[in-house]
Structure 1
Amino acid sequence: MWSVVDVLQEFHPFTLSSAPHHANLTLHIRAVGPWTWKLAEVYGDKASSAKYPEIYMDGPFGEAHQNWWDYEEVVLVAGGIGVTPFASILKDMVYKLHQSFKVIRTKQVHFLWTTRSQKQYEWMIDILREVEAADKHKIIKVHIFITQFKSKFDLRTIMLYMADRFHHSECGFSLFTQLRAITHFERPNFDSILQTLKKECKANVIGVFSCGSSSLSHAVERSCREMNRAPDIIFRHYYKNF
C-alpha cells in the first residue's frame, strides 16, 4: 500500500478527461513516482479479482479553461500531455453539437496541438474522430504539429510532408491520421497563426486557452500581447502549466 510519506513527497497533477455529461469520471494521471506507479499497476491489472481501493475526491473547483463557451471565436493550444483538459472540452463540444448547434455560442474553434511524435497522440485519435463526425457544421478546425523532425528536416521528412499535403488536398483528410485535421512537421508560429485569425475573425474578442509547458504559455502570451497592440480585436489568454 501507499504510505503517507509517499503521498506527501510526490506531486502529480490529475487531469479530468471526461465531459460533464458522462456517467463515469475519467482521469489522466502521470505515473512518475512510487505511489502513482502502484496506482497504475492496481487499476491496470484487469485480470485481478481483488476489489479496487476506494478513492475520495473533493471538488469541483473552478478552472480557467471552463469558460470557452463565452466566446464566439476560440483558440485551444495544447502542448504534449497538456492536451488532456482539451479532451474533456472537445467531448463536451461533441455532446452539445449532437444536442443542437444552437446551444453553442461558439461559432469557430481552432485546436492546435504540438506533440513530439505521432505515437504521443494515438490515444487522442478516437476523440478527434468522434469530434469530426459530430461537427456537421465544421466549426472545429484541428492542426497537429509534430516537432520531432524539427532538427532533422531531411528528404524523408519533406517527402512525408508533401505526400500528406497532396493526399489531404485530394481526399480531404490526412494520410497519416485519417482525419480532416492538418498535420504539420514543424513548431507552430503563433504570431502568424493569430495574425491570420485576426484577418478572418468577425468577433471583437477571441478566447485563447493554452495548456502545456511554461515555454508554450509564454510563447502564446507574447503573441497575444503583440496582437493586442492594435485594439480592434482583443485576444484574451488563459493558461495552465504542467
Structure 2
Amino acid sequence: MISIVKDIVNNIRAMEEEAESTSGALENGNGDVGINSTSSSSPNSKRKESFKTRRAYFYWVTREQGSFDWFKGIMNEVAEMDHNHVIELHNYCTSVYEEGDARSALITMLQSLNHAKNGVDIVSGTRVKSHFAKPNWRSVYKQIAVDHNNSRVGVFYCGAPALTKELRQLASDFSHKTSTKFDFHKENF
C-alpha cells in the first residue's frame, strides 16, 4: 500500500514539474508578457492522460503506536506536497479507546493541543492526525459513495483476513444501493 501512495505522490510531483516546465512567462523588449506552453501532443502530456487517480483515501489501522514509524516519512511527504489534496490520509490506533470515551480523554486533549501548536500528531509523529479505535467502515463507504456519485471506486485491502469479509461485503452492498460502484481487491501474502 505504501508503494501505491508513493506512486501517486510521484505522479503528482511529475505532473507539477511538467506544468512548471511547459509553461512560463516570456517578456519581449516592449515589456509585453506572453505565455509559452508546449502543445498537448508532447511526450510528457501522456503522463497526465495515463494518471487516472483523482482522489485516494488511505486508512492506516494499527494496534501499536510504533507501527506508524514505518510510514512516517511518506505521510509527512504527502502532507507537505499534496497541494491539491489528492490523497486523504487517516491513521487509526486501535489500542486507544475511541474519541469521546473518558478513558482516552487525556490523550485526545494532548493530541489536539500538540497538533494545533506544532502541526504534529503525538501518536503517529506525523502531520496526519490520528483517530482512536477502529474506523466505522460503513460510514467510510457511505461518505465515499456520497462524494463520488456515479463513479467507480477501487478498494484495495492489505491486512488481517478477518476484515476482508466485512470490507468486501460493504463494497458489494454500496455498489448495489448507490450509483457508486466499488471494486474490492485484496492483497494476498
Q: 1:187 aligns with which of 114, 117, 134?
A: 134
Q: Return the alpha-carbon distance in structure 1 between the equivalents of residues 117 and 181 of structure 2.
A: 36
Q: 2:152 aligns with which of 205, 218, 234?
A: 205
Q: 2:61 maps to what in 1?
A: 114
Runs in 1 of length 4+ with deviation above 6 angstroms?
Answer: none
Query: Partner amino acid for 2:170?
Result: S
| CA deviation map 1:34-64 (0-9, x unaligned) | xxxxxxxxxxxxxxxxxxxxxxxxxxxxxxx
Q: 1:95 maps to what in 2?
A: 10
Seen in structure 2, the aligned counterparts of structure 1 residues 183 and 226 have a Cα distance that, compared at 3 Å, is same
Q: TM-score, normalised by structure 1?
A: 0.57
Identity %: 25
- Counting only pairs closer than 5 Å after superposition, residues 65-214 of structure 1 correspond to structure 2 as 86-100=1-15, 103=48, 104-150=51-97, 155-165=102-112, 167-168=114-115, 170=116, 173-176=119-122, 177-214=124-161
Seen in structure 2, the aligned counterparts of structure 1 residues 220 and 165 have a Cα distance that, compared at 3 Å, is farther
| CA deviation map 1:145-196 (0-9, x unaligned) | 1111249x9645222123324554x469443135342311110111011101
Which region of structure 1 is more displaced relative to structure 2, 100-109 or 230-239? Answer: 100-109
Q: Return the alpha-carbon distance in structure 2 between the equivalents of residues 200 and 112 of structure 1.
A: 17
* Higher-Rg member (1/2): 2
Residue 203 of structure 1 and its aligned partner are, at CA, apart by 5.0
Structure 1: any 5+ residue segments left out of the alignment?
1-85
Residue 135 of structure 1 and its aligned partner are, at CA, apart by 1.2
Seen in structure 2, the aligned counterparts of structure 1 residues 107 and 167 have a Cα distance that, compared at 3 Å, is farther
Q: Return the alpha-carbon distance in structure 2 between the equivalents of residues 182 and 230 of structure 1.
A: 31
Q: Return the alpha-carbon distance in structure 1 between the equivalents of residues 183 and 58 of structure 2.
A: 16
Residue 108 of structure 1 and its aligned partner are, at CA, apart by 0.9
Q: 1:4 maps to what in 2?
A: none
**Greater relative contact order structure (CA < 8 Å, 6+ sep):** 1
2:156 partner SS: strand
Number of residue pairs matched? 155
Q: Is the 8 A contact 1:150 1:187 kept in 2?
A: no
Once superposed, what is the RMSD of the aligned Cα atoms?
Answer: 2.5
User: Does structure 1 residue 225 correspond to structure 2 residue 172?
Assistant: yes
Q: Return the alpha-carbon distance in structure 2 between the equivalents of residues 148 and 135 of structure 1.
A: 29
Q: Is the 8 A contact 1:110 1:140 kept in 2?
A: yes
Q: Is the 8 A contact 2:158 2:187 kept in 1?
A: yes
Q: Return the alpha-carbon distance in structure 1 between the equivalents of residues 81 and 136 of structure 2.
A: 29
Query: Partner amino acid for 1:224?
Result: A
